């Protein structure tokens, strides 16, 4: 007879996981990378070199470098952030995390109680929104245009909240290559955001995981780089630049904040091999690798945009991204992308429905996010063609695609 | 001016971390391994081989094997548990975790609310006890003798709790090479434990991280292997057998439990390189590696025991371990090991005070745990000599050591 655990589980747990069913034929979800671009062999060679020197450190928790992570990796991250993002950083201000997801969990755990309020971009990372809901935290979405979060709207929301006596716990922003909109917050707005945050006394949580993937124009200085008061908690990641399976991200914060986040990381440290491999690989190879990756992604983005134009025509509206791995698509009123996601998924075409990437789920019901990084060019073309057919069959649009009536 | 985060932090956070100060000269704390035994080069060679075959999988979250972890590693763990611990296991019942610490956090998060009760061995892993305190969960310690947790005492506590209408959330046990006592629960007691857990309807959380390090006698069948009702949640780790810095542990549970734990693992998976390296290294090398490691540890244990006998004489009481990496020492009434830990730490000798490894902290005040795995033989001898001097200077004992009066 099987023991019944049901009465032992906490009431507020998320629903059960489903067994892994493999990847769909056309995988436009999540943030998987271009397989051919992953420098797997170079990482493994880098690891061999560092193991030959420092292999004995594996005998120590924390690789013998304490709970903030492998020091040579933190030194590299600090140099990289200074060189590439204009952000002066000390290795002592960095905590290596299991991807940016653990970084986010640490920040949330440190700061959030049920009933708290957080400000987000009105279209935002689904994993952030679902975490906040799970924590019982309310979020307010600020509209985004081509230059990122709209500061007039933010100012108004902050004033209204103050009127009600509410101080948001933080403003969560993905300023550079925003997820899902791929917009880039202008430098002027970054300054205004900092000024508003200072004026209202609200911390900023800057999620910068996609910033390195910008192929048009230079990477803007981070918001944290413009802040000399330590009001910004910053996170970054090697998932999108090197490989998602590595699970190496990092938090950057001033010590009074970092020292409170560190005790919440109760896992005894992040994996040593990734940290050692990256610390050895990056100084010689990272810049060139990212430059090549950007061009690969740009090419796939163009294929995805062409496929959307060809198959959906004017039915699919989107801004052409300047970087990143996603296109954020708006379909006509009559389309429900929750339903489309379900139908397409059953036919091997996986997409992310806009409702999950929108602070106002209803406002996202005719939007969808497609990731072009992982599938090949042909898969992109075939998958989008199939998606258009499924969409037409259910919703009657697009009426024409690839110059034929459906 | 620096932004003040203080009002933003949750009230129930642990205190701030301290900056890393490096390892002490004589490092008898934590669970660091023997550096010469870490198969660092073999792991890096194994990784090169698996990367040559499967490197492209790094482009996928979950290494393309879903959120339970790299399938070849789960297949190996399942075979290993069957072969070496008599525990029939399916890869689908395994969740790879960031060490056993994340495994423990997942179980705690799924099952525990503030005010709950958990049953533990009366001397137990300090990290378990501190986690339970942080969660506001009460624990009741069951005395341990040479054959592990005493079942008469457990039966009495379960009956008393039932009388009060309290169902403990689980019984936490480290049955094989218990931490810190190094005792091994007899097979008869394992059966009694299961019977009592069944009778009172209480889950068991079996922490088996040290079981492979037994050098005297065979590894007993796990409690989970004797349970056909899915009442036991099991965790293991490669930290103590291969290398702590890898951070690869695992949970084993029936699907109705595992599927509720999985959504709580919100980090996007564990590090790929460790999982791939272990999956490739272990099938050919693990058995031989562990056999050699046991002999190395046995030798260090003998050095530590001899040093304690030489320096402390009858002042230091302990059972000779049959495996593992710790000796659990009892000193005379007049010694306070919290104070000794402080004094010795200031002189470069790091020990774990018994209070932190005891359900009743006061009962642990004259006990201490020393880890002999990491330091060399000479460091063990020198460090224990220094510890005896410090102890003598403060508490007047040991009076004689190494055949000289102090």
The encoded tokens of residue B122 equal 């009366």
Per-residue pLDDT at B403 exceeds 70: no
pLDDT at position B355: 98
Measured torsion, CA atoms of residues B258, B259, B261, B265, in degrees rounded to the nearest 10: 120
**How far is B36 from chain A, CA to nearest CA, in Å?**
7
Going edge to edge, which strands form the sheet with B352-353? B326-330, B367-371, B352-353
A52 inside 8 A of chain B by CB: yes
Average pLDDT rounded to a whole number, residues B163-182: 98
B165 inside 8 A of chain A by CB: no
Tens of pLDDT, residue by residue over B58-117, are 999 999 899 999 999 999 999 999 999 999 999 999 999 999 999 999 999 999 999 999
Helix (H) or strand (E) segment spanning residue A323: none
Q: Give B-chain residues touching A59 at CB under 8 angstroms.
A: 32-35, 37-38, 243-245, 374
Q: What is the SS3 string spanning A141-191?
A: EECEECCEECHHHHHHHHHHHHHCCCCCCEEEECCECCCCCCCECCHHHHH
- Residue found under tokens 């599938």: A375
Q: Give B-chain residues touching A277 at CB under 8 angstroms.
A: 273
CA distance B113 to B111: 7
Q: Give A-chain residues touching B112 at CB under 8 angstroms.
A: 10
Per-residue confidence at B405, pLDDT binned at 50, 70, 90?
confident
Average pLDDT rounded to a whole number, residues A306-324: 97
Mutate to test the interface with A, among B5, B200, B371 (most CBs of A within 10 A): B5
In chain B, the residue whose alpha carbon lies closest to the alpha carbon of A194 is B3
Average pLDDT rounded to a whole number, residues B219-236: 97
CA distance A125 to A359: 9
Q: Determine contact, residues B148/A47, Cβ cutoff 8 Å.
A: no
CATH 3.90.1150.10 positions along chain B are: 23-38+290-405
CA distance B209 to B154: 23
Pairing of strands A204-207, A170-173: parallel
DSSP secondary structure string for all residues of A79-137: HHHHHHH-----GGGEEEESHHHHHHHHHHHHH--TT-EEEEESB--HHHHHHHHHTT-
Tens of pLDDT, residue by residue over A27-76, are 999 889 999 999 999 999 999 999 999 999 999 999 989 999 999 999 99
Average pLDDT rounded to a whole number, residues B125-143: 98
Q: Determine contact, residues A173/A121, Cβ cutoff 8 Å.
A: yes
Q: Prior bond to B180 cis, omega within 30?
A: yes
- Does domain B40-285 correspond to CATH entry 3.40.640.10? yes
Per-residue confidence at B350, pLDDT binned at 50, 70, 90?
very high
Average pLDDT rounded to a whole number, residues B204-217: 96
CA distance B12 to B153: 34
CATH 3.90.1150.10 positions along chain A are: 23-38+288-405
Pairing of strands A404-405, A400-401: antiparallel
Per-residue confidence at A210, pLDDT binned at 50, 70, 90?
very high
- ipTM of this predicted structure: 0.96
pLDDT at position A116: 98
Tens of pLDDT, residue by residue over A103-130, are 999 999 999 999 999 999 999 999 999 9
The CATH architecture assigned to B23-38+290-405 reads Alpha-Beta Complex (3.90)
Q: What is the SS3 string spanning B181-230?
A: CCCECCHHHHHHHHHHHHHHCCCEEEECCCHHHECCCCCCCCCHHHCCCC
In chain A, the residue whose alpha carbon lies closest to the alpha carbon of B243 is A59
According to DSSP, the residues that pair with B235 across neighbouring strands are: B207, B251
- Does domain A23-38+288-405 correspond to CATH entry 3.90.1150.10? yes
In this structure, chain B runs to a length of: 406
Please state the pTM of the whole predicted model.
0.97
B130 inside 8 A of chain A by CB: no
Average pLDDT rounded to a whole number, residues B160-176: 98
Q: Would you tell me how many other CB atoms lie within 10 Å of the CB of residue B344?
A: 25
Q: Determine contact, residues A31/A240, Cβ cutoff 8 Å.
A: yes
Of B43, B245, B267, the CB nearest to A98: B267
**How far is B322 from chain A, CA to nearest CA, in Å?**
22
Tens of pLDDT, residue by residue over B246-268, are 999 999 999 999 999 999 999 99
Per-residue confidence at B400, pLDDT binned at 50, 70, 90?
confident
pLDDT at position A400: 74
Q: Would you tell me how many other CB atoms lie within 10 Å of the CB of residue A396?
A: 12
Per-residue confidence at A403, pLDDT binned at 50, 70, 90?
low
CATH 3.40.640.10 positions along chain B are: 40-285
Of A1-5, A315-319, B72-76, B178-182, the one with minimum mean pLDDT is A1-5
Of B32, B48, B255, the CB nearest to A59: B32
Per-residue pLDDT at A404 exceeds 80: no
A92 inside 8 A of chain B by CB: yes
pLDDT at position A146: 95
């Amino acid at each position: 007879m099987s023991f019944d655990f049901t009465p032992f589980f906490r009431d507020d747990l998320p629903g059960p996981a489903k067994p892994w069913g493999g990847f769909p034929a056309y995988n436009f979800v999540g943030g998987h990378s271009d397989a051919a671009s992953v420098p797997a062999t170079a990482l493994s060679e880098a690891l061999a070199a560092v193991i030959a020197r420092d292999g004995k450190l594996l005998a120590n928790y924390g690789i013998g470098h304490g709970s903030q992570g492998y020091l040579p990796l933190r030194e590299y991250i600090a140099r990289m952030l200074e060189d590439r993002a204009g952000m002066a950083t000390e290795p002592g201000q960095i905590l290596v995390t299991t991807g940016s997801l653990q970084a986010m969990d640490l920040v949330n755990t440190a700061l959030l109680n049920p009933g708290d309020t957080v400000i987000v971009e009105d279209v935002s990372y689904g994993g952030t929104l679902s975490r906040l809901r799970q924590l019982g935290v309310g979020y307010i979405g600020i509209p985004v245009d081509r230059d990122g979060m709209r500061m007039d709207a933010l100012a108004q929301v902050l004033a209204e909240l103050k009127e009600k006596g509410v101080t948001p716990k933080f403003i969560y922003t993905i300023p550079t290559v925003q997820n899902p909109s791929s917009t880039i917050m202008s430098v002027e707005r970054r300054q205004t955001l900092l000024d508003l945050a200072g004026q209202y006394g609200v911390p900023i949580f800057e999620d910068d995981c996609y910033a390195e993937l910008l192929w048009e124009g230079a990477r803007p200085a981070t918001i944290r780089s413009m802040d000399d008061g330590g009001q910004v908690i910053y996170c970054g990641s090697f998932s999108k630049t090197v490989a998602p399976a590595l699970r190496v991200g990092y938090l950057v914060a001033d010590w009074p904040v970092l020292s409170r986040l560190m005790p919440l990381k109760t896992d005894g440290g992040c994996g040593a091999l990734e940290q050692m491999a990256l610390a050895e690989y990056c100084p010689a190879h990272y810049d060139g690798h990212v430059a090549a990756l950007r061009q690969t992604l740009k090419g796939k983005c163009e294929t995805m945009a062409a496929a959307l134009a060809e198959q959906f025509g004017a039915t699919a509206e989107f801004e052409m991204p300047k970087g990143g791995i996603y296109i954020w698509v708006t379909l006509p009123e009559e389309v429900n992308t929750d339903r489309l996601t379900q139908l397409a998924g059953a036919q091997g075409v996986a997409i992310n429905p806009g409702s999950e990437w929108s602070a106002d789920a209803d406002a996202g019901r005719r939007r969808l996010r497609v990731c072009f990084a992982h599938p090949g060019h042909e898969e992109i073309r075939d998958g989008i063609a199939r998606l258009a057919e499924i969409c037409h069959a259910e919703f009657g649009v697009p009426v024409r695609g690839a110059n034929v009536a459906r």
